[in-house]
Homo-oligomer: A and B are copies of this chain.
Amino acid sequence: MTSVVLLSGGMDSTLTAAIACAESDTVAAVHFNYRHRTERRELAAFQAICDKLGITKRLVVDAEVLRQIGGSSLTDEAIPVSKADLAATDIPSSYVPFRNGTFLSIATGWAEVLGAERIYIGAVEEDSSGYPDCRKVFFDEFEKAINLGTKPETHIRIITPVIAMKKSEIVKKSLELGVPLELTWSCYQSEDEACGECDSCALRLRGFELAGATDPLSYAKRPRYA
């Protein structure tokens, strides 16, 4: 059984890729380069993680269109990156409009060509930043759309193995499975040293704290969030 995994290079997708490898005969990994602030660092993480997990079939997609569209601090540098507010209920400025719809559609096309039956995506609902396209209800509906919009002989399931995990559980599970967290990258703000202050750093650092573990990455600031 062949699977496609979406691999950004962060912790969630890296744990997801490790799980996909354990559950599949062949895994193909796709990475979306949308030339955002930290793309260079994330692409390096993608390649290093694929090397480590033995994933040879790789697709790097130029998703420049997300910059053309804009509407997010990740793709429009005129929009400031939100400072972490883990209690906030608003959708943060880093939300990229319908990104997972676009990523999953492209992954579906590739899966159909490869004859893959599963698409793994490392979305996290419970402990996420409130992105609407990271919810189980969205993936379930999207899976239905996929199977109506592809060939009759194509049957694809969207697998979200970390969707219900808290970040601390992702850290614990990754440590348990020997997932190379030292190769991952999460910061939305910087590339050489994680900032420690953006939403993504805050979620990651809190995850490590609650897991009782220490993040192997180096941070410019390392506030306590737990």
User: Inside 8 A of A133's CB, which chain B residues have their CB?
Assistant: 149-150
How many copies, total? 2
Assembly CA distance A132 to B146 (angstroms): 10
A177 at interface, CB cutoff 8 A: no
Query: Are A141 and B144 in contact, CB atoms less than 8 angstroms apart?
Result: yes
Query: Are A61 and B68 in contact, CB atoms less than 8 angstroms apart?
Result: yes
User: Inside 8 A of A97's CB, which chain B residues have their CB?
Assistant: 108-110, 112-113, 150
A69 at interface, CB cutoff 8 A: yes
For A95, give the chain B residue with the smallest CB separation: B151
Query: Are B144 and A106 in contact, CB atoms less than 8 angstroms apart?
Result: no
A100 at interface, CB cutoff 8 A: yes
Assembly CA distance A10 to B91 (angstroms): 38
Which residue in B105, B110, B150, B151 is a CB contact (below 8 Å) of A105? B105
For A102, give the chain B residue with the smallest CB separation: B105
Assembly CA distance A141 to B69 (angstroms): 24
Query: Are A65 and B106 in contact, CB atoms less than 8 angstroms apart?
Result: yes
Closest chain B CB from A25 CB (angstroms): 20
Assembly CA distance A69 to B97 (angstroms): 23
Assembly CA distance A102 to B61 (angstroms): 13
Query: Are B142 and A145 in contact, CB atoms less than 8 angstroms apart?
Result: yes
A182 at interface, CB cutoff 8 A: no
Assembly CA distance A105 to B97 (angstroms): 9
User: Inside 8 A of A68's CB, which chain B residues have their CB?
Assistant: 59, 61
Query: Are A70 and B150 in contact, CB atoms less than 8 angstroms apart?
Result: no
Assembly CA distance A97 to B150 (angstroms): 7
For A153, give the chain B residue with the smallest CB separation: B91
Query: Are A108 and B113 in contact, CB atoms less than 8 angstroms apart?
Result: no
A178 at interface, CB cutoff 8 A: no
A96 at interface, CB cutoff 8 A: yes
For A60, give the chain B residue with the smallest CB separation: B68
